[in-house]
Amino acid sequence: MQKKVKVKPNSKQQKIAEQPDGSLIVHLKSPPVDGKANEELIKLLSEKFDMPKSHIRIKLGLSSRQKLIEIDTDI
């Protein structure tokens, strides 16, 4: 499964908002430095989809706010 994600780093609180088109807007507390925001994003998505972090990866947009996330649902 693939999801388009728009990341908003340096937010006051963590939250995930699902858009009508199925994409996600994710508010992260971490700054976009040294991959900290990406680590927090994967942790939040693993909790939301109840998947291990190893099954979630950033396919496109590693250093961008617009990301394409791939979630391996074949467990």
pLDDT (tens digit, 0 to 9) for every residue of the chain, 75 residues total?
999 999 999 999 999 999 999 999 999 999 999 999 999 999 999 999 999 999 999 999 999 999 999 999 876
Please say whether the dihedral angle defined by the alpha carbons of residues 35, 36, 37 and 43, taken in this order, is positive or negative.
Answer: positive
Type and span of the H or E element at 4: strand 2-8
- 10 Å Cβ neighbour count for 10? 12
Distances from the Cα of 25 to the Cα of 59, 64, 68, 74, angstroms? 17, 13, 12, 25
pTM for this entry: 0.91
- What is the rounded CA–CA span in Å between residue 69 and residue 34? 19
Place of tokens 């909790």: 47
